[in-house]
Homo-oligomer: A and B are copies of this chain.
Amino acid sequence: MDRLKVGILGATGLVGQVFAYFLDRHPWFEVTYVGASKASAGKRYLDAIHYKLVSISDEVGELIVQEVKPDKVPKDLKIVFSALPSGVAKDIELELVRRGFTVISNAAPMRLDDEVPLINPEVNWDHLKLLEVQRRKGWRGTLVKNPNCTTAILTLSLKPIADMYGIRKVIVTSMQSVSGAGFPGVSSLQIIDNIIPFIEKEEEKMQTETLKIMGKLKDEKVKWASFKVSATCTRVPTLEGHMISVFVETEREVNMSELIKAMENFKSKPQELKLPTAPERPIVVRKEKDRPQTRLDRWIERGMSVVVGRLREETALDRGVKYVALGHNLARGAAGIAVVIAELMYKLGYMEA
């Protein structure tokens, strides 16, 4: 079988690299286009990367970087993965959709738009049905978004809780690694022996995207979840992996051993369909008293699992549970799930269009 041709926009950044990592020798997709800014154009992909985070083979590594211009993106690409910076993403992505491309994007703009599915695969794969709205509205192409990194980690960990006990309130503090800010990103002078308790726009994203993702699809619209989220986001001196400390008020009493079992056994459509990039265990529950730990647990299942630990009954909220969760911000939190979204679309028949 011939693999589908796919492209990566913003290929040389950290998220772009992790796209390359997951798409390298992919069974269904073949990267034939890597686009970046003018500065990188004309270089061999591996030479154009400033800070190399993951290993990438020659299949992608030997491609020549192209300057991203919507009218120069090859027509034969079946999927365009976008890791473009927020500032330029919207215009380019919309132009590509107008030109008929299927765009799966990690960029923040338009994540909350009604017609745009915002997908964390194991949590709300069914929201892909919104694509039918896009078609009916006459879009020539297709646009799907994956959520903000921390939101992806949070919502996956919340999913079994929501299903079993209902959620009323979520209070979350994040401890995010420096790779979340891209490269060069956070200066070493700012973060060695330090914590910065602020990340631009991050809390707003967690407080809104979570509700859209956890919402229900009804009459071709996503009815946002009605619980409340309150977030404080901090930057800490770790390289990769975002940790979150979560306190949840549930609608019904939580049975801790039942919940732990449910988390351990949690599977969803991507696991059912045995998608190549989906983790076997979307949620890994650690029972040691001091796990998850950022450095030790971030690359479990190629960074696609969320590792949950310290599950305890919540003591200040009316009822519920508190825990710590860890996920790789660039895999589960960005490129990895965008690739799973593509695999879902492929398997569910959204690719024919």
A: which residues have CB within 8 A of B?
Answer: 51-52, 169-171, 173, 175, 178-179, 183-198, 207, 227-230, 232, 234, 236-239, 243, 245, 247, 289-296, 309-310, 314-317, 322, 324
Contact = CB atoms under 8 A, between A and B. Distances in A.
A198 B51 contact: no
Contacts of A317: 169, 171, 230
Contact of A236 (B207, B237, B314): B237
Nearest to A187: B184
Contact of A245 (B173, B187, B293): B173
Contact of A187 (B171, B188, B234): B188
Contacts of A175: 175, 195, 234, 236
A306 to B, nearest CB: 14
Contacts of A191: 188, 192
A51 B188 CA distance: 11
| 5 closest residue pairs by CB, A with B | A230-B316, A184-B187, A228-B316, A173-B173, A198-B290
B228 A194 contact: no
12 contacts: A51-B187, A170-B316, A173-B173, A193-B238, A194-B295, A194-B296, A196-B290, A197-B310, A230-B322, A232-B324, A234-B245, A247-B247
A230 B314 contact: yes
Contacts of A193: 192-193, 237-239, 294-295
B316 A197 contact: no
Contacts of A232: 245, 247, 310, 322, 324
Contacts of A52: 296
A198 B310 contact: yes
> Which one of A185, A195, A228 has the highest number of Cβ atoms from chain B below 10 Å of its Cβ?
A195
B192 A290 contact: no
Contacts of A315: 207, 228-230
Given A186-B189, A188-B237, A193-B239, 10 more contacts: A169-B317, A178-B187, A185-B188, A188-B191, A188-B239, A191-B192, A194-B293, A207-B315, A229-B316, A236-B237
Nearest to A178: B188
A316 B237 contact: no
A173 to B, nearest CB: 4
Contacts of A290: 196-198
A184 B189 contact: yes
Nearest to A203: B312
Contacts of A238: 192-195, 237
B296 A237 contact: no
A192 B188 contact: yes
Contacts of A185: 187-189
Nearest to A290: B198
Contact of A195 (B236, B316, B322): B236
A316 to B, nearest CB: 4
